[in-house]
Chain A
Amino acid sequence: DGGITQSPKYLFRKEGQNVTLSCEQNLNHDAMYWYRQDPGQGLRLIYYSQIVNDFQKGDIAEGYSVSREKKESFPLTVTSAQKNPTAFYLCASSMTLMKKLFFGSGTQLSVL
């Protein structure tokens, strides 16, 4: 069953805590992305990676970090520096950069 798997589906963060969202794909896609979605707004790009061991900041990278050690995996860490982390986080991948993105099912992050 090919696709993109995000986990967990729901995540709660305490003040001052770092949390990591998982994203795994078995589509053999080179490019992977993290987006943030707030209610009633369009998707905003946090980070993207075109190839293993390389990634670029998107529009709202502050307070977030990523790694791309394997082609299949692109985890996102929401650090304590991100003061407003409550949002729906979406991971995506594509064969070609910024074309025909396929999305995971999302992680809802909330602050306790």
Chain B
Amino acid sequence: GESVGLHLPTLSVQEGDNSIINCAYSNSASDYFIWYKQESGKGPQFIIDIRSNMDKRQGQRVTVLLNKTVKHLSLQIAATQPGDSAVYFCAENPGSARQLTFGSGTQLTVLP
């Protein structure tokens, strides 16, 4: 089946810098995408979602960009803080509501 992958397994950024976490997807039929944040030993926390009829969506300190041409999704975190340290992963729905496909995640570490 189709799968969602991440370009980098780990990402380290300085506190206060912006972070960009990338996600590649292969199912061109996917019409809905979600970003989650998961801290160690906890359940995933919803960050932001985007539908395929949009190419950008902003939340509080976060922006998701969707490039359907190259099947690429990114999560931008502005002014990264120590509390942002976590695993971030994306999920896609291939449009048939069969199920969400989750990536394995990127570990974001914020350096002091």
Contacts and interface: CB of A to CB of B under 8 A. Distances in A.
Interface of A: 4, 6, 40-43, 45, 48, 58-59, 90, 92, 97-106, 108
B49 interface: yes
Nearest to A91: B43
A42 B99 contact: no
Contacts of B61: none
Given A42-B4, A42-B89, A42-B103, A98 B46 contact: no
Interface of B: 4, 32, 34, 36, 41-46, 49, 89, 91, 93, 97-105
A41 B45 contact: no
Contacts, number: 51
A103 B42 CA distance: 9
Contacts of B103: 42
Nearest to A9: B41
Nearest to B9: A40
Contacts of B89: 42
Among all A-B residue pairs, the 7 with the closest Cβ atoms? A103-B43, A42-B102, A43-B102, A42-B104, A103-B44, A105-B43, A98-B97
